[in-house]
Chains A and B, each alone.
Chain A
Amino acid sequence: MARGIRPGAPLSKIAVSKAHGEDSPYFAGWKAYDEDPYDAVSNPTGVIQMGLAENQVSFDLLEDYLEHHPETSSWGSGISSFKENALFQDYHGLQSFRKAMASFMEQIRGKRVKFDPDRMVLTAGATAANELLTFILADPGDVFLVPTPYYPGFDRDLQWRTGVKILPVHCHSSNGFQLTLASLQSAYSNAEASNFRVKGLLITNPSNPLGTAMSRSLLEEILDFVAEKNIHLISDEIYSGSVFSSPEFISVAELVETRRHETCEGIHIVYSLSKDLGLPGFRVGTIYSYNNRVVTTARRMSSFSLVSSQTQKMLASMLSDEEFTANYIRTNRERLRKRHSYIVEGLKDAGIECLKGNAGLFCWMNLTQMLEEKSMEGELRLWKMILNEVKLNVSPGSSCYCVEPGWFRVCFANMTEETLDVALRRLKVFVEKIKGRKKKMIS
């Protein structure tokens, strides 16, 4: 590529800004893995990827389905159905696919709620859904409240192109990092005092990185709070299908149905098939909104991130096969539960405690005792050690804006059990080494 003598035509502020957040250790660790990926045979000393929240435990169920239902990957006989599909770029999305998604989402919630397919706006992944909702609900300079620790990608999704700002609502280990009404009230007051316009609250339920599902009473408080302040609530429920032990998952959708005396115009749900179905590459996400105007306008704006009609058609039949989905949801949950138990036991054996979790594809590890210095710098030093010496990519809490140093997110569903074993062994050795070092320092 040629470079001129002059600096060349300038780029925009967005192009040069770091608001995409990709320089964070969260993403930097992925690079280390890419450069030296673990392989049991060809690279047994490589980096084990434990920083990517992917679900690989239930692929065989999908493969099995596709093998026994070849019609899923074909357009059927005759040109007209192919032609129709190839030309279909309607931002409403295929009705059969929306129905299938609604049905799948209902099943995940034990059929305790009903989703109207016409309220579903399809987007190329939850990333696009969150950004799109932000464009629709807030103007540049407005603020969204987001409880910490939160998924690092939100910085990019909610702020980069939209010009909206995230105001973190800090949570603490003293109550298991649960969001409280008091912290919400205080964050809101602070925002008002600084002349920020708060337009919404974004919760992730079940939480990433905590791996916990919110209690009914907390959700009720949240709904009261957003109603009182007249702000929007976005409930990102992309891990809803991965709640593997009690308490049972409660979606805001359930509360909306029980709180019939109230308006629900400010409630919006984000979902995707990337986690529960393990299909991140398919780019299938959705916004479900109880607000007609939001549905209409988000739908029009979804032109910038439509789901491939081929993919919609492929998944429509699979997701409306209730026998398949019921079995998938059940089996997937069970496998995640087992995997979760396994890693929690293994970590315990290595001397590491985790936050008690019941959902998600990860654990929230407490490594506070291993810090040389109880600070962000200390945490990042520990993170680098784990990455470079132990060759494990885990995500430091500071990249999730956790205010207490020493917490790390470790993923358990994106590898085989054997690989997990290797990772746990390495960790055990490392913890003993650190403990040994500390003993020496004290004596």
Chain B
Amino acid sequence: MRIIVPLQGIVQGRGGLILGSLIPCALLYFFQFYLKRNRSSPPPDSPSASTANLPELTGIPRNSSRTSLPTRGSIRPVPVSSRATAIARDSDSAYYTGWKKYLEDPYHPTSNPDGIIQLGLSENHLSLDLIEEWLAANLQKSLLGEKRGDLSISGLATYEPLGGLMDLKIAMAGFMSQIMGGSVSFNPAQIILTAGATPAIEALSFCLADPGNAFLVPSPYYPGFDRDINLRTGIKLIPVHCRSSNNFSLSIAALEREYKQAKKRRIKVRAVLLCNPSNPVGNILHRETLYDLLSFVTDKNLHLISDEVYAGSTYGTEEFASIAELLDTGAFDNSRVHIIYGLSKDLSLPGFRVGAIYSYNENVISAVSKLTRFCAISLPTQHLLVSMLSDTKFIEEYLKVNRERLAQMYALFVDELKQLGVECFKSSGGFYCWVDMSKFLKSYSVKGELELWENILNVARVVVTPGASCHCIEPGWFRFCFTTVTERDVPLVMKRISKVLKDHKASQ
């Protein structure tokens, strides 16, 4: 079964299985029709596979109980909303080929060496042993009322203050400061805690713009933004294309152009959204660029959202500077600046659902705090993290070792890919290589990119993310995550990919 996804729909990293984008790509759909003759849709009520992780297209399992009897008696189904229709249609036509394939046949070095290797998920598996060790030593105390010194669930279970426990805000402020190398301090009163960075960015977006307004986003960008920011808010994302000729760095001139264009089309731009360190490119914005950005948003009276979830996952020689650093100088009105953070990347704890918004704007803090009623962090998790994040010695050691491991894996991947004749962009952070496979494309186009992507998936049996799903304007770039495999797996990965590359080179 070959079903091609409008590839913005592949969302890795935040949200796991969650489908992304609502933004159609006409070319992708045409390509889909092109391949349709090879495509067979799954039957609507086929029983689900054994794992609970499978996306729902296979339907809910039938059993004899009343609970899953098909509709009888009513000719008119009760309607659902247009937002529900969009998220359903998007997934019906856009299937998680890569993710599903991986789940059906996941690679394992000993038990399933021929399985699909997952390099499309921006998760860090390299340093969880460090956290597990810490937990083994500290768990009992931290989970159940260490503060009271007894197993007191009543302290755990009552309604928490809006926006999270003050203790966790304090610990998070300290952690963020440690992450940023101590060059800036964060005020706990300006932190709002949420169940992950996904609801953080959505809640913030709800407060900064109305439906139909727009955010300018340097591209290529994280595919999940399309869902996180647009699905329920109705806010548009306008990509500001960055190019390889310019090292994929953001040009203020390009920003100006898109802003003017939007104005012409009578679209109200309300904010610029950055991801720094960036996903999928992995570059770090220079202080000068941040400064220019602050000037730009001040001039146009816009908000600036800086998503810094990878701030602690840097490994290059370039130094990371949070936007917070530039605000310390007092040269800019900081009421327009908001930072998104979370523990899914830097601390490898996506399952625990811990995110944060850091804002300098009282009204934003007040509004977002109320919105956390919909996305609060579970109290036992908060307590656990208060203990962990307050152990600054452990955090320091963890950050150091994790960075080393990231640097090592990154270097290994880059070297090995180079041996195959594949160049990578020089990244400084994140969990991925930004890989230039343009010279392997049979045609220098999105179609060509998707064809290569498909072969890497079906022939090499490796999941990677094509640049098209990240809105990259130049075809041929791919994101390969290197943090979900071990060093021992790398030769196999390269061997499999090289076969496909040889085929592609040969047919050129």
Q: Which chain A residues lie closer than 8 Å to B160 at the CB level?
A: 281
Q: Given A15-B363, A139-B81, are A304 and B140 also a contact pair (CB < 8 Å)?
A: no
Contact of B363 with A11 in the complex, beta carbons under 8 Å? yes
Contact of B334 with A1 in the complex, beta carbons under 8 Å? yes
Give bound CA distance, A230 to B190, whole Å.
Answer: 46
Q: Given A75-B135, A304-B375, are A8 and B74 also a contact pair (CB < 8 Å)?
A: no
Give bound CA distance, A91 to B16, whole Å.
Answer: 8
Contact of B334 with A282 in the complex, beta carbons under 8 Å? no
Give bound CA distance, A300 to B227, whole Å.
Answer: 10
Q: Which chain A residues lie closer than 8 Å to B251 at the CB level?
A: none
Contact of B60 among A59, A118, A125, A304 (CB under 8 A): A118
Contact of B157 with A73 in the complex, beta carbons under 8 Å? no
Contact of B76 with A230 in the complex, beta carbons under 8 Å? yes
Chain B residues bordering chain A, tally (CB within 8 A): 107
Contact of A119 with B78 in the complex, beta carbons under 8 Å? no
Q: Given A73-B139, A82-B132, are A266 and B81 also a contact pair (CB < 8 Å)?
A: no
Contact of B128 with A305 in the complex, beta carbons under 8 Å? no
Q: Which chain A residues lie closer than 8 Å to B157 at the CB level?
A: 59, 62, 278-282
CB neighbors of B among A52-111 (8 A): 52, 54, 56, 59, 62-63, 66-67, 70, 73-75, 79, 82-83, 85-92, 95
Q: Which chain A residues lie closer than 8 Å to B154 at the CB level?
A: 56, 59, 63
A41 within 8 Å of B by Cβ?
Answer: no
CB neighbors of B among A280-327 (8 A): 280-284, 290-301, 303-311, 314
Contact of A11 among B73, B132, B208, B333 (CB under 8 A): B208
Q: Given A63-B153, A90-B17, are A125 and B270 also a contact pair (CB < 8 Å)?
A: no
Contact of A306 with B65 in the complex, beta carbons under 8 Å? no
Contact of B88 with A15 in the complex, beta carbons under 8 Å? no
B348 within 8 Å of A by Cβ?
Answer: yes
B143 within 8 Å of A by Cβ?
Answer: yes
A292 nearest CB neighbor, chain B only: B60
Binds A, one of B194-202, B392-400, B439-447: B194-202
Binds A, one of B241-249, B349-357, B472-480, B494-502: B349-357
B184 within 8 Å of A by Cβ?
Answer: no
Binds A, one of B313-321, B378-386, B423-431: B378-386
Q: Which chain A residues lie closer than 8 Å to B123 at the CB level?
A: 87
B485 within 8 Å of A by Cβ?
Answer: no
CB neighbors of B among A245-266 (8 A): 256-257, 260-263, 265-266
B344 within 8 Å of A by Cβ?
Answer: yes
CB neighbors of A among B153-176 (8 A): 153-154, 156-160
CB neighbors of A among B328-368 (8 A): 330, 333-336, 344, 348-353, 360-364, 367
Q: Which chain B residues lie closer than 8 Å to A260 at the CB level?
A: 66, 69
B54 nearest CB neighbor, chain A only: A92
A6 within 8 Å of B by Cβ?
Answer: yes
B274 within 8 Å of A by Cβ?
Answer: no
Q: Which chain A residues lie closer than 8 Å to B131 at the CB level?
A: 82, 86
Q: Given A11-B207, A74-B140, A294-B80, are A127 and B52 also a contact pair (CB < 8 Å)?
A: no
Contact of A291 with B78 in the complex, beta carbons under 8 Å? yes
Contact with B along A1-12 (1 / 0, CB 8 A): 111101011111
Give bound CA distance, A306 to B371, whole Å.
Answer: 15
A28 within 8 Å of B by Cβ?
Answer: no
Contact of B334 with A2 in the complex, beta carbons under 8 Å? yes
Question: What's the least CB distance linking B276 to chain A, in Å?
Answer: 19
B144 within 8 Å of A by Cβ?
Answer: yes
Q: Which chain B residues lie closer than 8 Å to A373 at the CB level?
A: none
Question: What's the least CB distance linking B435 to chain A, in Å?
Answer: 24
Q: Which chain B residues lie closer than 8 Å to A231 at the CB level?
A: 78
Give bound CA distance, A115 to B68, whole Å.
Answer: 10
Q: Which chain A residues lie closer than 8 Å to B361 at the CB level?
A: 1, 8
B63 within 8 Å of A by Cβ?
Answer: yes
B389 within 8 Å of A by Cβ?
Answer: no
Contact of A9 with B80 in the complex, beta carbons under 8 Å? no
B281 within 8 Å of A by Cβ?
Answer: no
Question: What's the least CB distance linking B357 to chain A, in Å?
Answer: 13
Contact of A119 with B60 in the complex, beta carbons under 8 Å? yes
Q: Which chain B residues lie closer than 8 Å to A115 at the CB level?
A: 67
Question: What's the least CB distance linking A411 to chain B, in Å?
Answer: 13
B39 within 8 Å of A by Cβ?
Answer: no
Contact of A227 among B14, B74, B370 (CB under 8 A): B74
Binds B, one of A128-136, A333-341, A388-396: A128-136
Give bound CA distance, A92 to B61, whole Å.
Answer: 14
Contact of A88 among B129, B206, B351 (CB under 8 A): B351
Question: What's the least CB distance linking A35 to chain B, in Å?
Answer: 14
Contact of A15 with B80 in the complex, beta carbons under 8 Å? no
Give bound CA distance, A440 to B54, whole Å.
Answer: 74
Q: Which chain B residues lie closer than 8 Å to A87 at the CB level?
A: 123, 125, 128, 348, 350-351
Give bound CA distance, A230 to B76, whole Å.
Answer: 8
Classify chain A's interface size: 35 or more
Contact of A12 with B301 in the complex, beta carbons under 8 Å? no
Contact of B151 with A283 in the complex, beta carbons under 8 Å? no
Q: Which chain A residues lie closer than 8 Å to B376 at the CB level?
A: 124-125, 283
Q: Given A82-B132, A124-B376, A301-B231, are A91 and B17 also a contact pair (CB < 8 Å)?
A: yes
Question: What's the least CB distance linking A298 to chain B, in Å?
Answer: 8
Q: Which chain A residues lie closer than 8 Å to B352 at the CB level?
A: 86, 308-310
Contact of A311 with B380 in the complex, beta carbons under 8 Å? yes
Contact of B153 with A307 in the complex, beta carbons under 8 Å? no
A216 within 8 Å of B by Cβ?
Answer: no
Question: What's the least CB distance linking A69 to chain B, in Å?
Answer: 11
Contact of A79 among B17, B18, B128 (CB under 8 A): B128
Contact of B67 with A266 in the complex, beta carbons under 8 Å? no
Question: What's the least CB distance linking A404 to chain B, in Å?
Answer: 29
Q: Given A20-B370, A303-B18, are A118 and B301 also a contact pair (CB < 8 Å)?
A: no
Contact with A along B56-89 (1 / 0, CB 8 A): 1001110101111101111011111111100110
Q: Given A118-B61, A305-B374, are A161 and B232 also a contact pair (CB < 8 Å)?
A: yes
Give bound CA distance, A291 to B74, whole Å.
Answer: 13
B187 nearest CB neighbor, chain A only: A1
Contact of B335 with A22 in the complex, beta carbons under 8 Å? no
Contact of B56 with A299 in the complex, beta carbons under 8 Å? yes
B377 within 8 Å of A by Cβ?
Answer: yes
Q: Which chain B residues lie closer than 8 Å to A284 at the CB level?
A: 378
Give bound CA distance, A292 to B330, whole Å.
Answer: 54
Contact of A127 among B17, B152, B208, B373 (CB under 8 A): B373
Contact of A15 with B16 in the complex, beta carbons under 8 Å? no
Contact of B66 with A310 in the complex, beta carbons under 8 Å? no
Give bound CA distance, A308 to B378, whole Å.
Answer: 6
Q: Which chain A residues lie closer than 8 Å to B77 at the CB level?
A: 265
Q: Given A8-B361, A231-B78, A261-B72, are A116 and B65 also a contact pair (CB < 8 Å)?
A: yes
B105 within 8 Å of A by Cβ?
Answer: no
Question: What's the least CB distance linking A49 to chain B, in Å?
Answer: 11
A425 within 8 Å of B by Cβ?
Answer: no
Contact of B129 among A8, A79, A227, A295 (CB under 8 A): A79
Q: Which chain B residues lie closer than 8 Å to A293 at the CB level?
A: 80, 84, 88
Contact of B83 with A12 in the complex, beta carbons under 8 Å? no
Give bound CA distance, A299 to B334, whole Å.
Answer: 37
Contact of A156 with B209 in the complex, beta carbons under 8 Å? no
Q: Which chain A residues lie closer than 8 Å to B448 at the CB level?
A: none
B53 within 8 Å of A by Cβ?
Answer: yes
Q: Which chain A residues lie closer than 8 Å to B78 at the CB level?
A: 230-232, 265-266, 291
Q: Which chain A residues lie closer than 8 Å to B207 at the CB level?
A: 11-12, 14-15
25 contacts between A and B (CB under 8 A): A9-B336, A14-B207, A20-B367, A22-B370, A56-B158, A62-B153, A73-B143, A86-B131, A92-B17, A124-B195, A125-B374, A135-B81, A136-B80, A137-B80, A137-B81, A232-B78, A282-B378, A291-B78, A292-B60, A293-B84, A301-B84, A301-B87, A303-B14, A304-B198, A308-B351
Known: A15-B367, A301-B87, A305-B375. 10 other contacts (CB 8 A): A15-B364, A67-B151, A86-B351, A87-B128, A114-B67, A136-B83, A137-B80, A283-B378, A297-B87, A308-B377
- 6 closest cross-chain pairs (CB), A and B: A309-B351, A4-B333, A281-B379, A308-B378, A15-B207, A266-B78
